[in-house]
Amino acid sequence: MSLKNRLKTNHTLAYRLTVWYASIFAMTFFGAALFFYILMTSTVHKRMDQDLENEVKEFSTLLQEKGIEEFKTSIIYEAESEGVENVFYRLISREGNLIASSDISSWSFLSDGLALNKINNGSVNFFETIPVPRTTHHARVLYIAIDDDKIIQTGQSMEEDEKFLETFRDIFGTTFIMMVVIAGLAGWFMAKRALTGVDEITKSAVDISCGDFSSRVSETGHGDEIDRLAIAFNRMLDHIRTLIKGMKEVNDNIAHDLRSPIARIRGIAETAMMTAQSGDDYQAAAGSIIEECDRLLGMINTMLDISEAEAGMSKMNMEETDISDLISDACELFLPIADDKGISLRQEIERGIMIYADQQKMQRVIANLLDNALKYSPPGGTVTVSLKDTEHGAVISLADNGMGISKDDLPNIFNRFYRCDRSRSLPGVGLGLSLAQAIVRAHGGDISVASIQDAGSSFTLTIPVNH
């Protein structure tokens, strides 16, 4: 593997997880083995010390019961049977003078100074571990005072125990290396398997960046974190695809709806240039152009308001508002229009209902809905505005008995620039309901519609109430 590929691998999440898995396992295994080694070493030393004490007690009893000659014979025999290079026995005075001993030619390195000081200062026994010259091993030596004058000393080579512990260390070292390698391989396998879903999501993200919005991440159905991430990612892709589709439709609609007023502006200007003969003609043309420009600006501003509200970026001047008064004021504003068309504008409003809202934006919503209701109601019709307080919030309803909306058009009326076929002959660009829905939802509410063609429509708004 090249240096570049190694560096690339070192920065992957799978590599870091593998290192963590292997490191944690290695530390755990090493800690457990170290604890076991310390426990085993302690047990070996305690067993040896216990054996030395038992032997000294036996020889002490023998000395007291059988005498010095029997004691000499027994320690010589015991040392020869176990090997004079492995064990020795001595009987010395508190001053360090030798009274009796086994063959100690292999133990000439012994020094009794420290042990005698301890015994003479009141200690009953004294253990020490001393290195054996010209070897890598040690010996364990015990001094025990058996009366006011005598001390029995015995020593035993620790070579066999140390070889056993050394073998354990060698086995542990080899096993440790093998286990770390196995842990690394297992960690790499687990990490790669756990991150398979992430790799698929990354691949889908790359495909999306190249323009392929049909790419999806496969779901395992296990319900684990990666599967939930895949589900959320696919939902996000569906939402993005819907948004892009909506943006395309909006762009198409914008292009279509902007073309007409721009064409009219050009036509007015061209006509004025070719046919105007006086200042009044030019002034009339300029007025028509300004009117069309205002219409364009109004359309563009409305689209911006809708986009900001839907994106949650609209500046909301939220304050406690009496929605009852706000609706009553809107009805009074539209009452002359209703009278001119011979439409009855009825109010069924509960008083004192308070909501937390941006007054200007809510006024715009009510005004748009009232304007639509009056626009599409025939002379002699009725528009009913009602308000009541429910457990779900303030429910505002605007019902008319006008032309209604067909079943085919009903699912699309809140889409931008959408206009029913029967409404295209009337003024409007198809943004009012989209704006109303965006503002209501920005207030934490919702808007719905029920309609029967040629029988009328009813728009219902639900806004959270301050209790």
Flag whether pLDDT at 158 surpasses 80. Answer: yes
Nearest by Cα to 386 from 356, 410, 353: 353
Q: What is the pLDDT of residue 284?
A: 77
SS3 179: helix
Q: Which pLDDT value is given to residue 257?
A: 64
Element (H, E) at 37: helix 13-66
For residues 42, 44, 46 and 52, what is the CA-based torsion angle, rounded to 10 degrees?
-150
What pLDDT is stored for residue 1 in this prediction? 46
Q: What own/partner pairs with CB < 8 Å and gap ≥ 24 does 313-316 have?
A: 314/361, 314/438, 314/439, 314/442, 316/358, 316/361, 316/442, 316/443
Average pLDDT over residues 98-127: 85
**What pLDDT sits at residue 50?**
92
Annotate 310-324 with b (16+ C-beta within 10 A) or e (fewer): beeebebeeeebebb
Report which of 248, 262, 319 is spatially closest to residue 292, judged by C-alpha positions: 262
68-82, 127-141, 292-306: which has the minimum mean pLDDT? 292-306
Pairing of strands 98-101, 87-93: antiparallel
Residue 60 has pLDDT above 50, yes or no: yes
Reference 86, options 155, 150, 4; nearest CA is 155
Beta strand pairing status for 344-349 and 382-390? Answer: parallel
Longest Cα separation, the chain: 156
pLDDT band for position 6 (50/70/90)?
A: very low
Q: Average pLDDT in the 218-239 region? A: 73
Q: Tell whether the model's pLDDT for residue 122 goes beyond 60.
A: yes
Can you say whether the dihedral through the CA atoms of 42, 45, 50, 51 is positive or negative? positive
* Weakest-pLDDT range from 86-90, 256-260, 345-349, 411-415: 256-260
Average pLDDT over residues 183-195: 79
- 3-12, 289-298, 316-325: range with lowest mean pLDDT: 3-12
68, pLDDT greater than 50: yes
Is the distance from CB of 102 to CB of 92 less than 8 angstroms? no
Model-level pTM?
0.48
What is residue 4's predicted lDDT score, i.e. its pLDDT? 44
Distance CA 238, CA 126 (A): 83
pLDDT at 267: 78
Share of the chain above pLDDT 90, in %: 12
Is residue 3 predicted with pLDDT exceeding 50? no
- Is pLDDT above 70 for 8? no
Provide the pLDDT for residue 288. 77
CB 463, CB 443: distance < 8 Å: yes
Query: What pLDDT does 254 receive?
Result: 65
Strands (E), 25-166: 87-93, 98-101, 125-131, 138-145, 150-157
The whole-angstrom separation of Cα 392 and Cα 430 is 29
pLDDT in tens, 254-290: 666 667 677 777 777 777 777 766 667 777 777 777 8
Q: Are 114 and 184 in contact (CB under 8 A)?
A: no
Higher pLDDT, 421 or 142: 142
Place of tokens 């770390």: 180
CB 192 within 8 A of CB 22: no
**Residue 385 and residue 345 in contact, taking contact as beta carbons nearer than 8 Å:** yes
Give CA 164 to chain center in angstroms. Answer: 50
5 pLDDT above the threshold of 50: no
For residue 400, give the amino acid letter. D
In this prediction, residues 446-463 reach a mean pLDDT of: 88
Structural domains present in the chain? 3-164 (3.30.450), 225-311 (1.10.287.130), 319-463 (3.30.565.10)
* C-alpha gyration radius of the chain: 50
Strand runs (DSSP E) across 253-392, as ranges?
Answer: 319-322, 344-349, 354-357, 382-390
* 39-50 confidence digits (pLDDT tens): 988 998 899 999
| pLDDT per position as a tens digit, 351-396 | 888 888 888 889 989 998 998 888 888 888 999 999 998 888 899 9
- Mean of pLDDT values over 11-29: 81
Name, in order, each residue with C-beta under 8 angstroms of 156's C-beta and a sequence gap of 6 or more. Answer: 48, 51, 52, 86, 87, 139, 140
Give me the mean pLDDT over the 123-141 stretch.
87
Q: What percent of the chain shows pLDDT beyond 70?
A: 84
* 107-113 average pLDDT score: 80
